[in-house]
Amino acid sequence: MKVQLCDPRQWAEAPLLHEMAAVHERIPQRHEMALLHGVLHHDDAERIAIGVHEAKETDFWVRGHVPGRPLMPGVVMIEIAAQLCAWLGSYSMTMDDGQIFGFGGVDRARFRGSVVPGDRMIMASKLERLRRNIGTFQTQAWVDGEKVFEGEIIGVKF
């Protein structure tokens, strides 16, 4: 992906626009799977959101994913991206009671750096296409201004 979705340095120290309670109003993940810790920016007209994940020593993956040198698994980065996409997509789709906007797939995922406990990962998602019950999003993530992840997330209403 050649176009950068945002300047991550602008959001490195930004306060939360929506805390986790507001995130929980739109997406169902809870407990150790509540990986989107907040939203820093949301522009409904531009169909873009910027979220944050604070990696901690107590995260479920730390103990077992490379003991002695914990690295966030790529699948966790994808899950965080999917949660931000679901949160963003919930503004563009009408949801009936009991429906959610969930993960439908990932394309062109690339991992460009590592995320370790203590890192603040900034994630940007932009809704590119919306057809009926399917949305396609471009996503990128950074730690300390360096890109660590990018990919295309497909979301499905079910």
**Residues involved in catalysis:** 65
Q: How far apart are CA 47 and CA 11, in angstroms?
A: 17
Closest CA to 88 of 124, 116, 62: 124
Extract the tokens encoding 148.
């660590």
Q: How far apart are CA 61 and CA 90, in angstroms?
A: 28
Closest CA to 158 of 136, 138, 135, 137: 135
